[in-house]
Structure 1
Amino acid sequence: MVNLYEGGAYLLNGIKMISERDKTKIQSLTGKTVSKEKAKKGTITYSLLQAHNISDTIDKLKIKFDAMASHDITFVGIIQTARASGMEKFPLPYILTNCHNSLCAVGGTINEDDHVFGLSAAKKYGGIYVPPHMAVIHQYMRETMAGCGKMILGSDSHTRYGALGTMAMGEGGGELVKQLLGDTYDITYPEVVAVYLTGKPNPGVGPQDIAIAIIGAVFKNGYVKNKIMEFVGPGIASMTTDYRNGVDVMTTETTCLSSIWCTDNDTKQFLAKHGRVSDYQELTPSEIAYYDGVIEIDLSTIKPMIAMPMHPSNAFEIDELNANLEDIMYETEKSIKSRFSNSDIHFSLMDKIIKGKLHVQQGIIAGCAGGCYTNIMEAAHILENANCGNDVFTLDVYPSSQPLFMDLVKKGAISKLMASGAIVKTAFCGPCFGAGDTPANNAFSIRHTTRNFPNREGSKPGSGQFSAVALMDARSIAATAANGGILTAATAYADEYSVPEYDFDDSSYKIRVYQGFDNAKPHSELIYGPNIKDWPEQIALSDNILLKVCSKIMDSVTTTDELIPSGETSSYRSNPLGLAEFTLSRRDPDYVSKAKKIGLVEKERRDGKNIFAADVELKRIYTKLEEKFGTIDIASIEIGSVIYCVKPGDGSAREQAASCQRVLGGLANICEEYATKRYRSNVINWGMLPFQMKESPSFEVGDYIYIPHIRKALNGDMKSIKAYSIGDTIKEISLYITEMTAEEKKIVKAGCLINYNRNR
């Protein structure tokens, strides 16, 4: 189904893939001598990165993007950071969408206050403002901004427009701030992995099925981690561009850096239909292109898939699940329960098996992955003359934009869905991150959305509430609905249905979207609601640091949803200290109080107060340090908190996963490896040290870690940084930091990105 190459490979004329081991065949086929270094320049990736790189070397890229996008739980913080850093106007098209806190249902006026702030910022600085319910962020960008040969940066992790010939990346707000200040996105030239497609998807198989199959094959082994996925091969032509978009957006869940696809006449027609045919250009690899790895997929072998809780990589064929139902459900339930110590939680998957069939309680088709035209049209076709029933099972459908919604109405799809008992709602990302359609306690939801991380659907294990989500394609969700909520693969309902051509009507955009780019009004006032707060002041890094371990998480992966929960906490994204109260709340509820306590100690130290008067334990730590190192000047040691996770940062680009630690007094993260580049960048941009260690941690929560001469260590190769774990005894431990740019080192030394920019 999905085959991963060992080693690299060469693609000839965009069609034939030859393993590097068989390199000698290339000359006989082409009559040309092959140079790997030259062939590496034959990828689409190389041409795009080269075109956007302003450094004097391709090895160390400094990228300037063509446009940027943020939504309403990130743009306030980004604009506040950029303002504090000296920004006067948006130097590139910056789209502010309102698709996350759209409902304005939690927290009083503060969600709509953020929207009003966004509009006022678009006017003042020259931005593009998309009002609530008009479009989810990525659908708007597909419809109006993405085009062949472009690069786009977004503050949402699913910023992916590769199927439209755009290399797009989702990063934390700090990286967007750099672009607003005229700075660059700095990375080492990434490896490029070909996704070589052949064959054609069978009826009933949708883009989410293909995506889950890929994620299941590459996530756990890190095959594409921080690399570019380049989609090539004859199989591309078997999918429409709208269908390709549904596969592409899910590449985020592989932990790749970005994606790009070959473009063709269907891409051109998509752009033409959206009034942007001039944004089309043919993107194909050169005659001979080298890839660092290959994911080979015969699309005709992909079957309807399900990603079981609690990760998109927990992948099974639906037929396989149904054939081994009790075994797979038992193991999944066991894995879920192993993550929670709360005895008040009652959750069972086994009780969903009734007479040998899996009964689910909810279906959702929504967002940038599920709410596309093709998905909803096919779901409506399956549900025509069927019904969802009047029992526990419910189905909600969210078209991803108003123009798309309008055409679904004209095509009769909305009537078919409504007649079946489905509820149709406006464009909204809520079901993707826990702010909409949270299932009942002990419920099992199937969703064509992007993620199924623990509690991302909105459950609260700390309050004894837990539900779980599996990811599926819209077609199989519709088939399940038509079968009364019994898990069913769409192939059971598949026929030769052909989706009618989409007709794009942007009249709603022309009327409601504020187009302010290149028309900044600097004298216009920003409008602040009472919840919108400035970032608290941070101080520069001291020569020596003392870290208190405030959380130690030994799970194989710690997601950004666990570091800072999604859902109702989104209302506080414009209030750094208010949001920080939720840090790790659903994974380690004691973390905040521990971090705040040590943060207060550091404040008292800076104020010259006696920090030992109220903290006898800290006095003991200093005594031990002086026994080993001699007299220590308290004024030379900055005190802060640290968390240890095995592999933190899988998932969202939200910078708050790091900034919340920082505003509570966090100075560092320690881990075995960072799950994503974007989380590590967030740690750095918020002035925290991105430590790693090879050994299993011997320290425990409550212990301290002393790291002398840290500023000097940052100036070195950082491969071995001496540190000292202080519990009952002092133990020397070895930390290290992987490559940082000169600018990143300066940011950490300054205490955060804002300080770095002010210093300039």
Structure 2
Amino acid sequence: MEFQISKLEGNIHYYPLNQLEQYGININKYPYSLRVLIENVIRNYDGKKITDEDLEAILKWQVGKEFSFLPTRVVMQDYTGVPLLVDLAGMRDEMKRRGKDPRVVNPVVPADLIIDHSIQVDYYGTSYSLLWNMKKEFERNEERYKFLKWAQLSFRNFRVIPPGNGIIHQINLEYLSKVVDVREVKGVQTAFPEIVIGTDSHTTMDNGVSVLSWGVGGLEAEAVLLGEPYTMTVPEVVGVKLVGDINEGVTPTDVVLYITEVLRKKGVVGKFVEFFGPSLSKLSVPDRATIANMAPEYGATVGYFPIDSQTLNYLAGTGRDYKIVEIYAKAQGLFYSEVPNYTDVVEIDLSKIEPSLAGPRNPDERVPLREMKKKNEKKEKKKGKIVSDNDVVLTAITSCTNTSNPTVMLGAGILAKKAVEHGLRVKPYVKTSTAPGSPVVVEYLKESGLLPYLEALGFHIVGLGCTTCIGNAGPLPKAVEEDIKQNNLEVYGVISGNRNFEGRVNPLLKGVYLASPILVVAYALAGRIDIDFENEPIGYDPNDNPVYLKDIWPSLEEIKQYMSLSLNPEIYRQKYSKIYEGDENWKSLKVTESETYNWDPSSTYIKEPPWFTLPSQSLDDIKEARILLLLGDKITTDHISPAGPILPDSVAGQYLKQLGVKELNTYGARRGNHEVMIRGGFANPKLKNLLVDKEGGITKHFPDGKIMSVYEASELYKKEGVPLVIVAGKQYGSGSSRDWAAKVTALLGVKAVLAESFERIHRSNLVAMGVLPIQIPDWRGLGIKGDETVSIYGLKDLTPRKKVKIEFKSSDGKVITTEGLVRVDTNVELEYVREGGVLKYVFNKLIYEG
């Protein structure tokens, strides 16, 4: 096939999709998200990186067939970005050792890293909270930040946004995204739609502003950065038809929690979701971004909103060029008009949605607000000196999901204002915090006059970063912590985040509920989770008169009065004009540009990675492996590789203390040190390994049956020369796009993970580390106990999605045989596995080409 380029505007050209008609393709029948992919494939078609097979697969919409394309941009945050850059730095060192030019290892795709995951809520409830938390952040992370500053100087096509500027996805939404980019392609100025991949699951948020985007593992991102195409299978596209009107009292958060529940039950894992219908135009871009953000929670690869007038309005309101977007989208058939064909259609009636929360353990466990009391009622409550069972001890306005949405942020401010006017105060045992996703939010809260009311209730700004949502909620007040521990109390958190997996926010919490920022403030005032807001007062004024939630709830009309403040292009231009400069803390970090990084042997944060010095292993059958862990359903990447605080008595904590480290920090902050991370594998205190009776990072070694840490068992099995597998249930690896969850699995000596089903990103991450994800029937139904040896036959001549024979043999000689589906889905993934992982695959290509 040959594709023509046409003039669009001035000296700008484009590749028209309507030229496909000559090949019998009616592009208007394709979902808008697929049209974006098709444009990318025809623009980059060269017969080498993008081949005839790629063209055929996507043009014929051959679901399940693999194809490749070239993402236009990569975004990263520091928790996932630091290990990626450590890998690239290690690759440069190995390149130099091989007598090659280290500068060959360099991003060829534009990339931004936003430092947003490292700030912790140590200080709260005061005007100095933000300043002191940032000071503490730099004290903890100076080594990491110096490394990032070195990377900024030493790699091209790579920018770093310093701490204190906001959350990756909100900055991506409000500033970085162009929707339609213009660059030189084959010597011609060419317009094209952005396709963004990010090393964070919630990169999907950008679909709210019509940028096709999703999260990938850091390993996949590394390959793309170094010029490799991104390979995936052609997706099914599920259309979500939006009808009806949102009722008074219902927030965008309620809408996304409802959609998450419906689509998770529908089953959209690995599929594209695209929104359409008569009510599409009623949702603003911030509303859409709230919905798109939580695509990982409902399981979809993307939740895409096509370009329309709302997209243009938002670009204009945030100070960006919208004219080229409009011209291009209308010329290209990407501007929303007629309804295309979809694989399947789900209807969402917005008028049926009611105020809700989600929890206490997963974001798809929606609970209507009216049922919260019934769900959490106890016959008898244990009482401590300060708190009791069912008390709410932590409330946080956090996470890009909601802080990017002025409706709920202004709504929280209005509710706070009314609460203060009624004389209400937050319960004294509740830790409160506000962490907006960008400085723009702080500005419009100030201009609206609502920020002082939030502060009056203790919701001071504590940071401009991810904070509580990533697990950096910080400690509870010591007296409250002691009360909870001494009396074994079951207490809760309420946050406006997108994730509430066990042990993520704070290990002392029985559970965490996700809610709108408005309800976060309401629960801080109530101080307990088992309140019936409809019939019980939220509190009493100083004259002992009852005040109900309905008395202080913000109406849509009240919120609208402030909305114009949130889309002022001048504020966006002003706040983002110096975003790459950083504060004095950042400017004072002294680093020198160099070809290779000067590794500090004493560093406990940044160590040269082991990937390029590990011995090569051929792909072969696995014989007489032991089961390292026997796990149930919904094992998250937080269970596998925690991001939160490193506990002093953990294996990683003991290791660091032996080195004289006093500030243990978090696993997320130490992802540049593989020695810490391997000891943190499966170290989540809430992990339930069914080989043992106790929760936490422990397991049973076989055949002696001794109980020990997962790390100790792994090391012992390595000495014994015994290969390892993990056996698990449904939705294995749900949660964050955490490449360390796959890296630590490989470092522990695990050759294969046998699970009933896998979440999309973790499955691909396992493959990228050379670990085989294999789907098996329910292990409980098979009668697996966990003490068996496991042999897997048929791996020598592995092909994509091959079925293999698996034998579980118990000590008494009983053999259970089953069939497994190896989830190495594409030929490219097969190459990764054969090379021992994507890092070695890409490195070997660079060596060969260099």
Instruction: Compute the TM-score of the two structures, normalised by the length of structure 1.
Output: 0.80
Match of 2:228 in 1: 183
> Paired residue for 1:62, among 47, 54, 68?
68
| Structure 2 residue aligned with 1:117 | 147
CA 1:726–1:756 in 2, change beyond 3 Å: closer, same or farther? Answer: farther
- The answer to whether the 8 A contact 1:200-1:299 is kept is yes
**1:736/1:532 CA distance change after superposition, 3 Å:** same
In the alignment, what sits opposite 1:570?
668
- Distance in 1 separating the partners of 2:83 and 2:812: 41
| Secondary structure of residue in 1 paired with 2:790 | strand
Structure 1 residue runs without a partner (length 5+)? 1-35, 335-344, 354-358, 460-464, 516-520, 605-610, 612-637
Q: What is the distance in 2 between the residues matched to 1:474 and 1:186?
A: 38
> 1:483 Cα shift?
5.2
Matches of residues 636-651 of structure 1 in structure 2 within 5 Å?
639-647=722-730, 648-651=732-735
The CA deviation string for residues 530-570 of structure 1, in whole angstroms up to 9 with x for no partner, is 12123224332353433533444442221111112221221
CA deviation after TM superposition for structure 1 residue 312, in Å: 1.2
Q: Match of 2:426?
A: 389
**Which SS does the other structure have where 1:453 is aligned?**
coil
Find out whether 1:317 has 2:368 as its counterpart. yes
Structure 1: which amino acid aligns with 2:268?
A: V
User: Given that residues 687 and 749 in structure 1 are in contact (C-alpha distance below 8 angstroms), is that contact kept between their aligned partners in structure 2?
Assistant: yes
Range 475-484 or range 393-402, more displaced: 475-484
- 1:33-112 alignment, distance < 5 Å: 41-53=29-41, 54=50, 55-57=54-56, 58=58, 59=62, 60-85=66-91, 88-103=105-120, 111-112=141-142
- Listed one character per residue, the Cα deviations across residues 216-275 of structure 1 (whole Å, up to 9, x for unaligned) are 2222x3521111111112222223222222222122200101121133323212212333
**3-state SS of 2:224 partner:** helix
Taking the TM superposition and a 5 Å limit, the aligned residue runs for 1:15-414 are 41-53=29-41, 54=50, 55-57=54-56, 58=58, 59=62, 60-85=66-91, 88-103=105-120, 111-126=141-156, 127-148=158-179, 149-160=193-204, 161-219=206-264, 221-278=265-322, 280-281=325-326, 282=329, 283-285=334-336, 287-322=338-373, 325=374, 327=375, 329=377, 352=389, 360-372=392-404, 373-387=406-420, 388-414=425-451
Contact 2:291 2:303 in 1 (8 A): no
**In 2, Cα distance between equivalents of 1:107 and 1:122:** 20
Structure 1 SS opposite 2:803: coil
Once residues 251 and 661 of structure 1 are traced to their aligned partners in structure 2, the CA distance between those partners, rounded to angstroms, is: 25
Distance 1:508 1:285, change over 3 A: closer
CA shift for structure 1 position 514: 5.3
Paired position in structure 2 for 1:590:
698
2:834 & 2:432 partners in 1: Cα distance?
51
Are 2:533 and 1:500 equivalent residues in the alignment? no
Q: 1:130-188 deviations in whole A, cap 9, x for unaligned? A: 11121111011112222433211111111121110011111111110111111122111
The answer as to whether partners of 1:308 and 1:315 remain within 8 angstroms in 2 is yes
More displaced stretch, 727-736 vs 561-570 = 727-736
Where 2:294 maps in the other structure, the secondary structure is helix
Q: CA deviation at 1:38?
A: 5.4
CA contact (8 A) 2:682 2:710 kept: no
Report % sequence identity: 23
Mapped partners of 2:576, 2:359: distance in 1: 37
Check the 8 A contact 1:215/1:313 in 2, yes or no. Answer: yes
Deviation, 1:457, is: 0.8
Counterpart AA for 1:419: A
Structure 1 residue 598: deviation in Å?
6.5
SS at 1:720's partner residue? Answer: strand
C-alpha change, 1:37 and 1:236, in structure 2 (3 Å) is: same
Q: Which secondary structure state, in structure 2, belongs to the residue aligned with residue 403 of structure 1?
A: helix
Indicate the residue corresponding to 1:30 in structure 2: none
Give the drift of 1:685. 0.5
Match of 1:561 among 623, 638, 651: 638
SS at match of 1:234: coil
Instruction: Indicate if the aligned counterparts of 1:269 and 1:277 stay in contact, CA closer than 8 A.
Output: no
Instruction: Specify the SS of the correspondent of 1:513.
Output: coil
2:736 to 605, 630, 652: 652
Amino acid aligned to 1:471: L
Residue 673 of structure 1 pairs with residue 781 of structure 2: no
Partner SS for 2:367: strand
**Shift of the alpha carbon at 1:494?**
3.6
**Residues 493 and 509, structure 2, Cα contact 8 Å, conserved in 1:** no
For 1:750, the equivalent position in structure 2 comes to: 835
> 1:507 corresponds to which letter in structure 2?
Q
Instruction: Answer yes or no: is the 8 Å Cα contact 1:203–1:494 preserved in 2.
Output: no
Give 1:758 deviation, angstroms.
3.0
Tell me, in whole angstroms, the C-alpha distance in 2 between the residues paired with 1:702 and 1:572: 33
Helix, strand or coil at the partner of 1:194: strand
Residues 254 and 353, structure 2, Cα contact 8 Å, conserved in 1: yes
* d(CA) in 2 for partners of 1:236, 1:430: 32
SS of residue matched to 2:341? strand
Given that residues 91 and 105 in structure 2 are in contact (C-alpha distance below 8 angstroms), is that contact kept between their aligned partners in structure 1? no
Structure 2 unaligned regions, length at least 5: 1-23, 42-49, 93-103, 121-133, 180-192, 485-489, 535-548, 583-591, 646-666, 690-696, 701-707, 846-850
- CA 708–297 in structure 1, closer or farther in 2 if over 3 Å, else same: closer
What is the alpha-carbon distance in structure 2 between the residues aligned to residue 210 and residue 491 of structure 1? Answer: 20
Instruction: Trace 1:734-745 onto structure 2 (pairs within 5 A).
Output: 734-745=819-830
2:745 to 653, 661, 680: 661
Size of the aligned set, in residue pairs, is 659
Change in CA separation of 1:487 and 1:420 when aligned onto 2, cut-off 3 Å: farther
Q: Give the conservation status (yes or no) of the 8 Å contact 1:230–1:260.
A: yes
1:410-429 alignment runs, 5 A limit: 410-429=447-466
Cα distance between partner residues in 2 of 1:736 and 1:106: 48
Query: Does 1:689 find its partner at 2:736?
Result: no
- How far residue 287 of structure 1 moved from its aligned partner, in angstroms, is 3.2
Report the alpha carbon displacement of residue 591 of structure 1 after superposing the two structures with TM: 4.0
Q: CA RMSD in A?
A: 3.2
Partners in 1 of 2:595 and 2:631 — Cα distance? 50
Give the secondary-structure state (helix, strand or coil) at the position aligned to 1:505. helix
Report the more deviating stretch, 395-404 or 587-596: 587-596
The whole-number CA distance in structure 2 between the counterparts of 1:669 and 1:371 is: 37
Look up the equivalent residue of 2:829 and give its one-letter code.
E
> Equivalents in 2 of 1:287, 1:466: separation in Å?
48
Distance (Å, rounded) in 2 between the aligned partners of 1:709 and 1:237? 52
In the TM superposition, residue 330 of structure 1 has moved relative to its aligned partner by: 6.0
Q: Secondary structure at the match of 1:290?
A: coil
Separation in 2 of the partners of 1:642 and 1:742? Answer: 23
- State the 1:211 CA deviation: 0.9
- TM-score, length basis structure 2: 0.72
CA distance in 1, matches of 2:355, 2:25: 40
